[in-house]
Each structure stands twice: as structure tokens, then as C-alpha cells.
Amino acid sequence: MSTNDKPTVLIVGAGLGGLMLGALLEKQSVPYTIFERAATIKPLGKLYCPGALTAIKITDAYYKTGGSALSVGPVLLPIFEQLGIYDEFVSIAKFSTQLNAFNESLKPHRPHDYTPLKELAGYGQYIVARPILHELFLKQIPPHKIHFGHRVLNITEEDNKAIIHLSNNQTFEGDIVVGADGAYSAVRQRMYEKLKAKGELPKSDEEDLPFSCTCLVGQTKVLDPKEYPIVKEPHAQFYVVLGEDKPYTWITFTTAQNTLCFMVIHHLSKTTSKGALEQRFRNNENSEWGAHPAQTMCDETRDFRIPARVGMKTMGDIYDLTPKDLISKVMLEEKVFKTWHSGRSVLLGDACHKLNPSGGHGAVTAIHDAIALANLLYALPSNTTSEINKIFQDYQQERYPAVMESYNNIGQVGEVSTTSRIFEGP
């Protein structure tokens, strides 16, 4: 394919997966545009971390990406190096050497040692605040190629082109539409409506996204290392407490920005769905999913004890150091859809497989989707519908087995974690 024949890609969603795809297409001069329904990303302040190449702005990306952190290691770092962002990533992340787990009484389990990774794979393991990683990815996208406040209403195909119709009455035309717009993807919904009308949608794809956990996530303000020495430790301090009498798991980890990220996972007694919760809320004014769900969960979990090395006694101490608007309560949906593409539209990340983040695979899997899809787009021989469908099939065939392996492994982890045996040795 000549340079002029490269496909024009319309990416819906500016999360980690959508931005990574944009960055990869930018590298190879493949034309693309990103559409994000959030109206803006406004600076909320800056964090300075030792050794950082630049000050990192903390923005409204928190509301999209969550205020917690994720672990990034050898499976992604070579790609960061190829993109030219490896050094900056290392400057904003914190090297991780081990995970320390405890039971509810704070008796330690055997730690997980990550130190062999560097020797075996050439790259180590890092903890990075998710909003900070989002900022790094966003910097790879020229501002004129991303449009905020653009909500997709419909997608049509005419004359071998895909057209997205937006809520502001604008339309944009391209060769391919990529739905990277999350668990409740508008691109997936439009695609599935058309397939269902033709009787071509698998029954399982019509069902609601189920979940059996809810999660409180957040990140403290910048902490004074003199008052909280844990944040000045050269390696990330990663602690997990597994409830015994409580159906909870609570997790803390330090970042390169001298903050403390946290997750509190509530393991529900039965699987439910967003639709079921909304119906329950309509029927019950006292539903926990009212105006202040995050604050309610904070109140319920304030007394949960944390390891002494954190420098605080309970989760409540951490909540008191966290701006309230940077704490969120979210549902941890779990589902792998069978249908990932139709016509000139294709899905990636949470839009086609929502993995429980307790396994640490959700964001990383979305980024891998973007890498696989970008490689296939680079090699697309022509922009015909048949060739596009072929690479979409190749994409799903490549990624589906890996996604299912992660999904099944996370399911096993979830079952074990509720019995507090996940980190015990043989």
C-alpha cells in the first residue's frame, strides 16, 4: 500500500488503549483522529518527582482513568522504548522488587520477589500511577488529532467508508472505526444493535456485564517524606491485606510522585449487574448507589488495619490524606465478548473484554490489543472491506486466546483471594 493509501482510522475513546493505538499510528504516519466524550482535561495541579524529566500535570484524566496505579513490566517496556518514551516512563514510575501480603491480623505471607525479572527479561517491573501514565500517552498525540466533548450517537457505512455521527451533529468519515471507549462502549452498542436486528449476535453478547466485586480507588495528596518515610523508599512499597472475617481485600502502593495509591475491593456474596443495581436503586431510596457511594464505602472501611511500615494505622488515615474528588467507587465487571468486529468497526480493551483489575491485566491487555491491531493496520494491503475484515479476524484470533487466559487466571485468583490463601507458599 502506498503512503496515500494508508487507512484513515477513527478511534473512539481516549483511555490507555485508545491513546496507545494513536501513538503507534502516529509513529508510522497512519492518519487517525481520536474522539473522547469527556468535555475537557483541565489541570488540577502538578506533581514533581525526583529525577523526572518534566513536571507531571494531574488532570481530569483521574475521572477517566481512575486514581490508582498499575504495574508495568517486560511485556510492554520494549514497546515504550520503540516509541521513545521509555526514559520518561522510568522517570515517572517506581521500580518494584516485591509484593508483600498479609492476613487481616497483619501476619505476613511469603512475599513475591520480582528481582529476577530484570536479569531474565532485560527489563524490570514498575509501579506507575495510572493518571500519570495516561498523561504520558496523551503527550504522544498532537492536540489537533484529539477531539473532546464528542459523543458517538451512530456509525454507518456508505461507499466503502465508515461514518461516525456525533451528538453535536458533526460527522467524520474514515476507513476504520475503533471502539476503545470502555466497558459500556457506544461503538459496541451500535454494532450489536445492527447484528441483533439481523439475527447475527450471539446470545451471550446480549447479556449485561456481570460483576461480583466493587472497588474503592484513590491516591493521596503528595506526602512529606519526613512525616511519611515510606514514600522516599527507592523501590515501590506494595502491600496487600486479605480479609478473613471481612469480604474485602485492601491494597496500597507508593509512587514516584511521593503519593500513596490504594484499592479496597469488596467481594460481593453474589454476581449482579449495573442494570440490576439501577433497578434496585429505583425501588429503594436507601440504596448504596446514591449520591455519595464512595464516601459510604470509605466510612464502612475506615477501620481496616494496614501494615505498620505504611506509616499509618488504618485505611481511614489514608482517606483523610486523599482529596475527596479523587476517590471513586467502581464496579469490577468481568466478561469477554464473542463479537469483536463487524464491517469496518472493531473493538479493543474493555469494549470487548472487561477483566477484573485485581489480576493486574486490564490496562495492560488493552495496550496489547492496540499493539496487535496497529501492527495489522501497518500491513493492510488495501482499504477494501474484505481486506479490513481479514485483519480484524486475524486480530481477534491473535488476541482472544491471550485474553481468555488472563480472564480464567483472574477468576482463579479471585476465588482464592476471598479465602486469604492467594499469597501463601506451598
Residues 213-246: tens digit of each pLDDT: 899 999 999 999 999 999 999 999 999 999 988 9
Q: Which residue has the higher pLDDT, 425 or 376?
A: 376
Cα(148)–Cα(366) distance, rounded to whole angstroms? Answer: 21
Any idea what DSSP says for residue 420? T
List every span in the chain annotated with CATH 3.50.50.60.
Answer: 3-37+149-208+334-417
At residue 1, what is the residue type?
M
**What percent of the chain is predicted at pLDDT more than 70?**
84
Question: For residue 55, is pLDDT > 80?
Answer: no
Q: What does the pLDDT average to over 293-316?
A: 94
Q: What is the mean pLDDT of residues 332-354?
A: 95
**Which residues are CB-contacts of 200 (< 8 A; sequence separation ≥ 6)?**
none
More confidently predicted of 111 and 55: 111
Neighbours of 124 (CB within 10 A): 21
What mean pLDDT do residues 64-92 have? 86
Cα 337 to the center of its chain, rounded Å: 17
In words, the CATH class of domain 3-37+149-208+334-417 is alpha beta
d(CA 213, CA 417): 12
The label of the residue with cell 498532537 reads 142
- Sheet containing strand 152-158, edge to edge, reads 152-158, 161-166, 171-174
User: DSSP readout, 76-127?
Assistant: THHHHHHHT-HHHHHHHSEEE-EEEEEETT--B-PPEE-THHHHHHSS-EEE
* Pairwise CA distance, residues 414 & 79, whole Å: 30
Q: How far is CA 69 from CA 126, 130, 236, 329, 363, in A?
A: 10, 5, 11, 15, 10
**pLDDT score for 342:** 97
Each residue of 153-169: pLDDT tens digit?
Answer: 999 999 899 999 999 99
| Residue 115 scores a pLDDT above 60 | yes
The mean pLDDT value of the chain amounts to: 85
